[in-house]
Amino acid sequence: MFVVESPIGPLGVIVEGDVVVGVRFGVACAPDASHPATEQLRAYFAGELTDFSVPVEMRGGSEFERAVWGEIAKIPYGEMVTYGAIATALGDPGAARAVGTACNHNPVPVIVPCHRVVGAGGKMVGFGGGLERKRKLLELEARVALTRAWG
């Protein structure tokens, strides 16, 4: 594991070779490292990167959780989708809470953008890294998306 400093606090990045297998919030007792994930996370937080290309392996999780993580990975930069919309996309419109639980179990937050999943009506609810981090990530993406759209 190595640490990447960010505007939302230190991120512990767990890799096996070139593949990212985990991201943890608030980890401060690991060295910095030269790795493509470090470079991409820094570029993301600088507003220079909107799509991660670093290889990721989503380990663990139930079949449902893996399906949710797959849907989350499709959410475009700067956009938000509700828990209910993901549940509906997976064929179970009543599973919004289960989607929230699956988001909380996302082993690679930020890179697999569970922060882009919001409550009904865009309400800011739930995030394994805390609502303040979620708000900062959404604000960063909104600011970058607007700047790119309007120059």
Decide: helix, strand or coil at residue 106. coil
Helix (H) or strand (E) holding 21: strand 19-25
Q: Which residues pair with 24 in a beta bridge?
A: 12
**Cα separation of 137 and 91, whole Å?**
28
Decide: helix, strand or coil at residue 138. helix
Catalogue the active-site residues.
Answer: 114
Decide: helix, strand or coil at residue 107. coil
